[in-house]
Amino acid sequence: MKKILYIIAVLLITACGRQKEGGEGISSTDTSAGKQLFGATLSEKEMVAAADFTGLINENDSAAAKLTVTIEDVCQNKGCWMVVDLGNGEKMRVTFKDYGFFVPKNSAGQTAVIEGIAKKKTTPVEELQHYAKDKGKSDEEIAAITGAKEEISFVATGVLIGG
């Protein structure tokens, strides 16, 4: 009986350790050429150029899109959001559908293909402060955030990093 309990305990500890190692909720698939897929498989949909994407969002409140971006910053708490450079000097925050997957915390600087829904939104002060806290900002820097921000947000269904 003690052996069975010991085996169960070892399996539980190992399983929990593996989940923490990759990050809670991480769902990754290795693909060819050193690329990693997180979330859903990307569609065959054509890529949208950054300039076209910005125009599309400016004309509409939301749009489905697939883009190539450079990852600028990643949540250092869990990898639950990232800020990307659209290649035209604009930045955009990317979160993940239903909080269903995360990306590696060391992804900054890498190229990624993201697919999902972009929306114009007003990010409230509390959410901006939360992002600052996730980023490791000081209490003073967090307290200095006092106004909401108009921005484009992107909820990704799938992210392909690398290559």
Pairing of strands 91-96, 149-161: parallel
Q: Tell me: the pLDDT tens digits for 48-94?
A: 887 788 888 878 888 999 999 999 999 998 999 999 998 888 889 99
Please indicate, yes or no, if residue 143 is contained in any of the structural domains.
yes
Instruction: Compute the mean pLDDT over every residue in the chain, rounded to the nearest whole number.
Output: 81
Give a yes or no: residue 13 inside a domain: no
In a domain, 151, yes or no: yes
Domain that holds residue 108: 25-161
SS3 (DSSP) at 74: strand
Q: Is residue 32 part of a domain?
A: yes
Is pLDDT larger for residue 38 or for residue 131? 38
The total domain count for the chain is 1
Domain membership of residue 6 (yes or no) is no
In whole angstroms, how far apart are CA 69 and each of 72, 91, 106, 113?
9, 10, 16, 6
- Please indicate, yes or no, if residue 116 is contained in any of the structural domains: yes
Global model pTM greater than 0.85: no
